[in-house]
């Protein structure tokens, strides 16, 4: 399959080395020969794809082998499927191990499970390729040095580590959904990758409500992709979006995933709660039809499950929509001293919006200017400056157009 | 990118009795694999043409014909909507479908709004307007 014998040996050797590193911890797998072959084949396919053997024919061969291999497994019956599924799950948990930083986990997950090239991942995360390559190499080395076992954790550790997996997937999604630096507001590929990973994990761990919750949340957020940016690339806020552009297929999928979570019962976790909030927006035909009191109540529940200043800020917005700007401002003012929000542009942005609604325009101007100075996203800054201009605020010298 | 996989059952047409349970089981397994891989967005089987209708147009006038329709080659049996990274990936999935003799899958890439964002602003705006009118995102 790999024409270059030297490369083939290198790849097989690599697989063996991996085995020798892992098996002492995880134990020898039931079918060591198959494991080695699978690993070696996957590496070989990887090498071929990376274009070490640039010939297009090799790509085709690689694909055929991979599918033949999968068909082989399918023909050998569901026991093999379980093995593949288990391996995938082990891979997910290993790549998302907390010994790695969030960035490293995301990069490794995308490389190993997402099938993205290092170059693609680098572009998506706005770092140079050598930096990303190093990040991935270091991540693998860290796992090896920490002797992280290639396994699915059990018991109490499973719940903990699952939240790490979900965190990584959502990090990837958010990276694609809203850039924190640079001028482009969206990098859709990452959203698709995260969604796919989420869906895969949902099938691998179907009894975990939070997995379905995360999938539901991502499907619904992704449903708004085409409504969030205008033709010139400027951002459009949720309440101003043209709902005819919301992807009903994704909304339907999100609601279905949410339904799966709810039917499993148990206490609603943070992803499920956020997904329910998202579903409130998704099912409101017009902005006026939004059930704000329900959303406010959901944020109450969410702030009990995962208290955080950002959630509190979102709760303030919901409360203001349900019960008036003064009620919302009370909550926002209480966050004024919150150190973690000191550089968070949405705090002054929300405060500015509430002050505007209360007719306190001068104070609103100050807040919008502050918000504009805090955001690193050029388009977001433009949006904030537009709002200030609409109020008739005086333009200080520090504003850039 | 999204691809629609359109299944044409082919020569056997609609006269067939209840579908072979083994064939159904194989198809269900295939659909499960699509789901496990996180690539299928939607899939539907279509009921016999006897329950359907066709609308043809001439000089702005529509003409409605109720089914059944007998031209076996034209009859669509069902579809899948896939989210994939490339046409090649879509093709791979289509190849893995447990198709019977004479069955054919046609793969078509779905237009998405991003297909228009690199166009000149006027074109993008026109495309957006069309999308808006038919309630498509």
Query: pLDDT, tens digit, for every residue of B70-118?
Result: 887 789 999 999 999 889 999 999 999 999 888 999 999 999 866 665 5
Chain A residues with CB-CB distance to B112 below 8 A: 226
What's the whole-model pTM score? 0.74
Both structure tokens of B133: 């009118």
Q: Does A38 lie at the interface with B, CB-CB under 8 angstroms?
A: no
Q: Which residues of B111-132 are buried (b: 16+ CB within 10 A; e: fewer)?
A: ebbeebbeeeeeebeebbeebe
The shortest C-alpha distance from A371 to chain B (Å) reads 29
Whether pLDDT at A100 is above 90: yes
pLDDT for residue A136:
92
The average pLDDT across B112-126 equals 61
pLDDT band at residue A67 using 50, 70 and 90 as cut-offs: very low
The average pLDDT across A47-74 equals 50
pLDDT for residue A299:
96
pLDDT band at residue A204 using 50, 70 and 90 as cut-offs: confident
Q: Which residues contact A153 (CB under 8 A, 6 or more apart)?
A: A93, A160, A161
Q: Does A245 lie at the interface with B, CB-CB under 8 angstroms?
A: yes
Q: Does A232 lie at the interface with B, CB-CB under 8 angstroms?
A: yes
Pick from A200, A203, A249: CB nearest B42: A249
Tokens 């794809």: give the residue.
Answer: A49
| Phi/psi of residue A170, nearest 5 degrees | -70, -35
Share above pLDDT 70 across residues of chain A, in percent, rounded to a whole number: 74
pLDDT for residue A119:
84
pLDDT for residue A396:
63
Question: pLDDT (tens digit, 9 = 90+) per residue, A322-343?
Answer: 999 999 999 999 998 888 888 8
Q: Does A206 lie at the interface with B, CB-CB under 8 angstroms?
A: no
Whether pLDDT at A302 is above 80: yes
The average pLDDT across A291-312 equals 95
Q: Distance (Å, rounded) from C-alpha A320 to C-alpha A329?
A: 7
Residue A298 neighbours by CB distance under 10 Å: 23
Whether pLDDT at A291 is above 90: yes
The average pLDDT across A267-291 equals 96
Question: pLDDT (tens digit, 9 = 90+) per residue, A223-235?
Answer: 998 898 777 766 7
B96 with A71: Cβ contact below 8 A: yes
Residue in chain B lying closest to A71 (CA): B96
What single DSSP character describes residue A235? Answer: B
Looking at chain A from residue 109 to 138, which residues have their Cβ under 8 Å from any Cβ of chain B?
Answer: 115
Q: For residue A232, which of B88, B19, B76, B128 has the smallest C-alpha distance?
A: B128
Report the DSSP beta bridge partners of residue B54. Answer: B65
The whole-chain average pLDDT of chain A stands at: 80
What single DSSP character describes residue A283? Answer: T
pLDDT for residue A181:
39
Looking at chain B from residue 75 to 94, which residues have their Cβ under 8 Å from any Cβ of chain A?
Answer: 81, 83, 85, 88, 92
Whether pLDDT at B132 is above 60: no
Q: Distance (Å, rounded) from C-alpha A167 to C-alpha A173?
A: 10
Q: Does B60 lie at the interface with A, CB-CB under 8 angstroms?
A: no
pLDDT for residue A112:
84
The shortest C-alpha distance from A328 to chain B (Å) reads 33
Q: Which of A226, A247, A251 to mutate to test the interface with B (most CBs of B within 10 A)?
A: A226
Q: Does B42 lie at the interface with A, CB-CB under 8 angstroms?
A: yes
Chain A residues with CB-CB distance to B39 below 8 A: 196
pLDDT band at residue B137 using 50, 70 and 90 as cut-offs: very low
Q: Does A244 lie at the interface with B, CB-CB under 8 angstroms?
A: yes
pLDDT for residue A226:
85
Select from 3.90.1300.10, 3.40.50.10130, 3.40.630.30, 3.30.70.1060 the CATH code of B2-110: 3.30.70.1060
Give the residue, A91 or A259, on which the prediction is more confident. A259
Give the residue, A186 or A139, on which the prediction is more confident. A139
Both structure tokens of A271: 């992803």
Whether pLDDT at A188 is above 50: yes
pLDDT for residue A370:
93
Pick from B36, B95, B137: CB nearest A247: B137
The average pLDDT across A382-399 equals 80
Residue in chain A lying closest to B89 (CA): A63
The shortest C-alpha distance from B62 to chain A (Å) reads 27
Q: Which residues of A64-74 are buried (b: 16+ CB within 10 A; e: fewer)?
A: ebbeebbeebb
Both structure tokens of A395: 């333009």
What single DSSP character describes residue B42? Answer: E
Question: pLDDT (tens digit, 9 = 90+) per residue, A355-370?
Answer: 999 999 999 999 999 9
Q: Distance (Å, rounded) from C-alpha A59 to C-alpha A48?
A: 6
The shortest C-alpha distance from B82 to chain A (Å) reads 11
The average pLDDT across A250-260 equals 97
pLDDT band at residue A42 using 50, 70 and 90 as cut-offs: low
Domain extents in chain A: 1-76, 343-401
């Amino acid at each position: 399959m790999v024409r270059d014998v030297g490369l083939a040996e290198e790849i097989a050797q690599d697989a063996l080395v991996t085995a020798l590193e892992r098996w002492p911890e995880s134990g020898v797998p039931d079918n060591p020969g198959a494991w080695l072959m699978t690993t070696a084949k996957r590496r070989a396919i990887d090498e071929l794809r990376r274009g070490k053997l640039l010939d297009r024919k090799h790509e085709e061969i690689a694909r055929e082998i991979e599918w033949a291999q999968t068909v082989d497994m399918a023909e050998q019956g569901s026991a093999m499927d379980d093995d593949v599924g288990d391996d995938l799950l082990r891979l997910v948990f290993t790549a998302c191990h907390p010994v790695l930083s969030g960035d490293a986990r995301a990069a490794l997950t995308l490389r190993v499970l997402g099938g993205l090239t290092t170059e693609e991942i680098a572009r998506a995360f706005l770092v140079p390729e050598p930096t990303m390559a190093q990040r991935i190499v270091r991540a693998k080395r860290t796992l090896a040095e920490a002797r992280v076992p290639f396994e699915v954790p059990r018991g109490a550790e499973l719940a903990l580590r699952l939240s790490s997996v979900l965190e990584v997937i959502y990090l990837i999604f958010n990276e694609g959904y809203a850039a924190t630096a640079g001028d482009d507001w969206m990098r859709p590929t990452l959203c698709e990758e995260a969604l796919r990973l989420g869906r895969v994990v949902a099938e691998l761990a179907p009894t975990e409500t939070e997995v379905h919750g995360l999938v539901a949340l991502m499907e619904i957020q992704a449903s708004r992709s085409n409504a969030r940016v205008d033709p010139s690339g400027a951002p459009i806020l949720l309440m101003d979006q043209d709902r005819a552009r919301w992807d009903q297929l994704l909304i339907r999928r999100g609601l279905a995933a949410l339904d799966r979570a709810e039917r499993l019962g148990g206490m609603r976790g943070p992803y499920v709660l956020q997904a329910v909030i998202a579903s409130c927006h998704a099912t409101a035909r017009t902005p006026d039809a939004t059930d704000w009191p329900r959303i406010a109540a959901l944020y109450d529940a969410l702030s009990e499950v995962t208290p955080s200043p950002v959630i509190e800020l979102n709760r303030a917005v919901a409360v203001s929509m349900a019960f008036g700007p003064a009620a919302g401002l009370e909550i926002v003012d209480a966050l004024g001293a919150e150190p973690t929000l000191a550089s968070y542009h949405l705090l002054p942005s929300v405060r500015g919006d509430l002050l505007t609604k209360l007719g306190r325009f001068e104070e609103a101007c100050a807040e919008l200017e502050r918000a504009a100075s805090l955001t690193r996203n050029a388009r977001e800054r433009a949006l904030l400056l537009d709002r200030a201009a609409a109020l008739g605020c005086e333009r200080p010298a520090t504003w850039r157009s | 990118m999204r691809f629609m996989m359109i299944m044409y059952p082919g020569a056997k047409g609609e006269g067939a009795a209840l579908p072979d349970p083994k064939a159904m089981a194989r198809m269900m397994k295939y659909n499960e694999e699509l789901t496990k891989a996180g690539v299928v967005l939607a899939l539907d089987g279509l009921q016999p043409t006897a329950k359907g209708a066709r609308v043809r147009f001439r000089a702005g006038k529509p003409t409605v014909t109720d089914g059944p329709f007998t031209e076996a080659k034209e009859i669509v049996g069902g579809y899948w909507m896939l989210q994939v990274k490339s046409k090649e990936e879509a093709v791979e999935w289509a190849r893995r479908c447990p198709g019977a003799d004479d069955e054919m899958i046609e793969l078509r890439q779905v237009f998405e709004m991003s297909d228009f964002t690199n166009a000149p602003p006027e074109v993008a705006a026109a495309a957006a307007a069309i999308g808006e009118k038919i309630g498509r995102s």
